[in-house]
């Protein structure tokens, strides 16, 4: 197989949510689960009440650590060093699952060789945990009956994101904790339907159901149903390549459907330059946003409560969505707008309903073939579901049948982040979310309740650092990176360790993405949102900064 990690990197939980409650050890690495995945965090808390040991590895003292038996607070960007050392210890103590490795994997010798230099002492110098702490983590994971591993963006949003994911997969393969109930490798998917979007082929190299565009047989199948000739077999561009293409004059138009890139892409100045350079920009959104300011055309879309269709959740469950309210004004379903544009460009893309589109998708995608609207009327079904008699799949790789035969270890060497602190920019900035807000705030900043609870951006600064810089809790300070600066209120807190700061991208007045680095993982194109270098300056004005770029009525 192309490697277990690449299947997992396509991003699907191998286990189901209900399986969380019955695993002896839950290992959460790089996921702020209580704030970003509150529903799943309830399953983890219930598991702890039933006797599971929750182990958290995160550079921040996130709320989940309150339920954890152990919190390993390692440095930002050091996951590969930490996990390689854990695997070194597991192999040294012979805690690895020889039978599973012999029968179902390949490349174990290569893994063993790669991790051989990651002694706990060596890794300690990189990740900041003591060698004993690393041995303790290895012993907890290595001697457990089953470990369920859960990760999110703390693992993926690095220039080494793919290698980080592979390393998580290597660990679970080494322990034989894959292809069985409860244990596995589980990326918690972020948006309500990001799993569905990927399943629908909203990636540069696949059709629906992860069928490769490079495969001539697959292309022929789609060409027949769509009545077209010669669908391209080449890969489309990922976001960094799109912006580069615009800036080099190769890409003339950009069509954004539900992406507020000015706020959500790294290095805002670079994003804005790209939007200014593109000849034609279409923004299709449910609200006016920062990105739409640059648009030539704005197309109003209907939102989740105004449409019929399906969303696929993090455990691969395809669920029905029903229209609860009528869309306002000229807002239309996203699929309808796209179809109309296709029509005006000369291709008849005539669909009458979401169900009709879904039936075409399932006729072309074996993994979803058995999921009909009638069958998910009451409860969703988890793909793979190959036919209408199949009840769906709770956990993947059951009986150790992997997509292309054996699971391959893909060991990786630790590499530092693209930008690390130095004298001029001595702090690591890592970024993410708060419970009370959603991404670029277009939705949550319209809710009075959320604004009351969490009205503005806060930068987390460790008390030791604050004392050295004479920063008081609640004081407005300036955070500066090589790409820009923002004025932001400080939150002096030991949630972050010394040398680390944390911000979100929820507030346009002080958006972390003014500061973040647009270096990206070469395989996925995902940016290094989780690590850049900044410095903190006392702000000249002691008062609240003037609000910039607030386009919202906040009703």
Site string for Mo ion, 183-212 (x = CB under 5 A): -------x----------------------
* Residue 525 near Mo ion by CB under 5 A: no
- Give me the least distance between CB of 462 and Mo ion, in Å please: 27
Q: How far apart are CA 195 and CA 208, in angstroms?
A: 12
Kindly indicate which of the ranges 182-190, 324-332, 367-375, 528-536 contains the residues binding Mo ion, using the contact rule CB under 5 A. 182-190
Per the listing, tokens 């470990």 go with 147
Query: Are the CB atoms for 104 and 400 separated by under 8 Å?
Result: yes
Kindly indicate which of the ranges 397-405, 467-475, 511-519, 542-550 contains the residues binding ligand MGD, using the contact rule CB under 6 A. 511-519
Query: Are the CB atoms for 171 and 118 separated by under 8 Å?
Result: no
> Where would I find the H helices in 365-500?
448-453, 463-469
Instruction: Write out the binding residues for ligand MGD, residues 431-470 only, by CB under 6 A.
Output: 431-433, 435, 437-440, 442
Choice between 154 and 370, CB closer to ligand MGD: 154
* Residue 552 near ligand MGD by CB under 6 A: no
Q: How far apart are CA 534 and CA 73, in angstroms?
A: 21
Residue 453 region by backbone torsions, left for phi larger than 0, else alpha for psi between -120 and 50, else beta: alpha
Choice between 184 and 309, CB closer to ligand MGD: 309
Out of 9, 120, 148, 154, the only residue in the binding site for ligand MGD (CB under 6 A) is 154
Choice between 101 and 137, CB closer to ligand MGD: 137
Q: Which CA distances in Å does 443 have to 250, 313, 416, 440?
A: 34, 20, 36, 8
Kindly indicate which of the ranges 52-60, 172-180, 478-486, 534-542 contains the residues binding ligand MGD, using the contact rule CB under 6 A. 52-60
Sign of CA dihedral 80, 83, 85, 87: negative
DSSP bridge partners of 297: 282
- Give me the least distance between CB of 444 and ligand MGD, in Å please: 8
The CA-to-CA distance between both ends of the chain, in Å, stands at: 52
- Give me the least distance between CB of 82 and ligand MGD, in Å please: 8
Residues with Cβ within 8 Å of residue 206, at least 6 apart in sequence: 212, 213
Task: Answer with the entry of Mo ion, ligand MGD, none that 29 interacts with (C-beta below 5 to 8 A by kind).
Answer: ligand MGD
Out of 159, 195, 260, 462, the only residue in the binding site for ligand MGD (CB under 6 A) is 260
Site string for ligand MGD, 79-118 (x = CB under 6 A): x---------------------------------------
The DSSP result for 471-529, as a single string, is PPTT-EEEEE-SS-EEEEEEEE-TTB-TTEEEEES--GGG-GGGT----B-TTT--B-T
* Residue 35 near ligand MGD by CB under 6 A: yes
Out of 8, 81, 127, 153, the only residue in the binding site for ligand MGD (CB under 6 A) is 153
Sign of CA dihedral 19, 25, 28, 32: positive
* Residue 219 near ligand MGD by CB under 6 A: no
The DSSP result for 176-213, as a single string, is T-SSSSS-EEEEPP-STTHHHHHHTT-STTB-GGG-BT
DSSP state of 460: E
Choice between 30 and 421, CB closer to ligand MGD: 30
Q: Which of 299, 291, 370 is nearest to 335 (CA)?
A: 299
**Helix (H) / strand (E) containing 319:** strand 317-321
> How many binding residues for ligand MGD (CB under 6 A)?
53
Site string for ligand MGD, 284-323 (x = CB under 6 A): xxxx-x-----------x-xx-------------------
- Give me the least distance between CB of 536 and ligand MGD, in Å please: 17
Residues with Cβ within 8 Å of residue 30, at least 6 apart in sequence: 57, 58, 79, 151, 152, 153, 154, 155, 156, 164, 530
Q: How far apart are CA 531 and CA 154, in angstroms?
A: 10
* Residue 56 near ligand MGD by CB under 6 A: no
Task: Answer with the entry of Mo ion, ligand MGD, none that 430 interacts with (C-beta below 5 to 8 A by kind).
Answer: ligand MGD
Q: How far apart are CA 410 and CA 153, in angstroms?
A: 20
Task: Answer with the entry of Mo ion, ligand MGD, none that 535 interacts with (C-beta below 5 to 8 A by kind).
Answer: none
**Triad 410, 412, 265: Cα angle to 5°:** 105
* Residue 193 near ligand MGD by CB under 6 A: no
| Chain residues that interact with ligand MGD, rule: CB under 6 A | 29-32, 35-37, 57-60, 62, 76-77, 79, 152-155, 157, 190-191, 257-261, 264, 284-287, 289, 301, 303-304, 334, 430-433, 435, 437-440, 442, 505, 512-513, 516, 529-530
| Chain residues that interact with Mo ion, rule: CB under 5 A | 190
């Amino acid at each position: 197989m192309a490697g277990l990690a690449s299947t997992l990197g396509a991003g699907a939980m191998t286990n189901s949510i209900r399986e969380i409650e019955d695993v002896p050890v839950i290992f959460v690495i790089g996921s702020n689960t209580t704030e970003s995945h509150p529903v799943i965090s309830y399953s983890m808390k219930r598991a702890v009440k039933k006797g599971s040991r929750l182990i958290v590895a995160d550079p921040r003292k996130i709320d989940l650590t309150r339920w954890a038996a152990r919190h390993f607070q390692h440095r930002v960007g050091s996951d590969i060093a930490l996990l390689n050392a854990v695997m070194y210890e597991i192999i040294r103590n012979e805690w690895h699952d020889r039978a599973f490795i012999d029968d179902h994997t390949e490349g174990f010798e290569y893994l063993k060789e790669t991790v051989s230099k990651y002694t706990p002492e060596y890794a300690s110098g990189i990740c900041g945990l003591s060698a004993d702490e690393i041995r303790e983590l290895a012993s907890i994971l290595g001697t457990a009956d089953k470990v369920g591993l859960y990760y999110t963006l703390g693992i993926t949003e690095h220039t080494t994101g793919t290698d980080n994911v592979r390393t998580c997969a290597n660990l679970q393969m080494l322990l034989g904790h894959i292809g069985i109930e409860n244990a596995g490798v589980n990326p918690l998917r972020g948006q309500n339907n990001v799993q569905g979007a990927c399943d629908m082929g909203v990636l540069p190299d696949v059709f629906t159901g992860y069928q490769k565009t490079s495969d001539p047989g697959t292309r022929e199948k789609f060409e027949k149903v769509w009545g077209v000739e010669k669908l391209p077999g080449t890969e489309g561009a990922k976001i960094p390549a799109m912006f580069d293409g615009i800036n080099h004059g190769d890409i003339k138009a950009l069509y954004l459907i539900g992406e507020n890139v000015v706020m959500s892409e790294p290095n805002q100045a670079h994003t804005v330059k790209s939007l200014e350079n593109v000849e034609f920009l279409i923004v299709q959104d449910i609200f006016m946003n920062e990105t739409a300011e640059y648009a030539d055309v704005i197309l109003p879309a209907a939102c989740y409560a105004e449409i019929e269709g399906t969303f696929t959740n993090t455990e691969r469950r395809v669920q029905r969505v029903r229209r609860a309210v009528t869309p306002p004004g000229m807002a239309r379903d996203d699929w309808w707008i796209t179809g109309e544009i296709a029509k005006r460009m000369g291709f008849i893309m005539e669909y009458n309903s979401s169900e009709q589109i879904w039936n075409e998708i399932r006729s072309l995608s074996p993994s979803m073939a058995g999921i009909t609207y009638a069958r998910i009327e009451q409860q969703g079904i988890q793909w793979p579901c190959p036919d209408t008699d199949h009840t769906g799949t709770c956990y993947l790789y059951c009986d150790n049948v992997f997509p292309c035969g054996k699971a391959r270890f893909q060991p990786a060497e630790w590499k530092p982040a693209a930008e690390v602190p130095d004298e001029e920019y001595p702090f690591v900035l890592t970024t993410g979310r708060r419970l009370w807000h959603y991404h670029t705030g277009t939705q949550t900043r319209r809710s009075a309740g959320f604004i009351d609870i969490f009205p503005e951006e806060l930068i987390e600064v460790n008390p030791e650092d604050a004392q050295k810089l004479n920063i008081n809790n609640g004081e407005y300070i300036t955070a500066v990176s090589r790409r820009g600066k923002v004025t932001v209120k400080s939150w002096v807190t030991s949630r972050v360790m010394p040398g680390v700061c944390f911000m979100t991208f929820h507030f346009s007045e002080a958006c972390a993405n003014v500061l973040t680095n647009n270096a990206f993982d070469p395989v996925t194109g995902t940016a290094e949102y989780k690590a850049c270098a900044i410095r903190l300056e006392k702000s000249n004005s002691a008062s609240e900064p003037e609000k910039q770029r607030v386009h919202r009525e906040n009703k």
